[in-house]
Amino acid sequence: MPGGYPNRMNEHDERGTTMTGIDPSRLDDQQLMKELETIHRTRHDTLLYGSNDALRAHNERMAQLEGEYLRRNPRRPVAAGRTREGARERECGESTPRS
């Protein structure tokens, strides 16, 4: 640790090929949202540049976090445009010429 700073390149989980993190059920709501925001923000880079093991771990962790969010929020608001019916309506509206 030259200069008193930890080596950031080696700050990763070395327990094996998967990184589990804290059990999502043990996170409070604010911590869960922060974890979800972080994993969604890093998703694209993991898909494009991560190893197969990194992508597998990312998939598993994302599923755990999203599952916990859905468990806690079974009646979460759903935007009409994010449903199949809403998407169909949007597609119909896009094919209509506008004046």
Three-state secondary structure of the chain:
CHHHCCCHHHCCCCCCCCCCCCCHHHCCHHHHHHHHHHHHHHHHHHHHHCCHHHHHHHHHHHHHHHHHHHHHCCCCCCCHHHCHHHHHHHHHHHHCCCC
Q: Which letter does DSSP use for residue 22 in this model?
A: S
- Main-chain phi, psi angles of 9, to 5 degrees: -65, -25
pLDDT at site 57: 95
Average pLDDT value for residue range 1-25: 52
* pLDDT single digits (tens) 62-94: 999 999 999 999 999 989 888 888 777 777 876
* pLDDT of 58 over the 90 cut: yes
CB contact burial 7-20 (16+ within 10 A = b; e otherwise): eeeeeeeeeeeeee
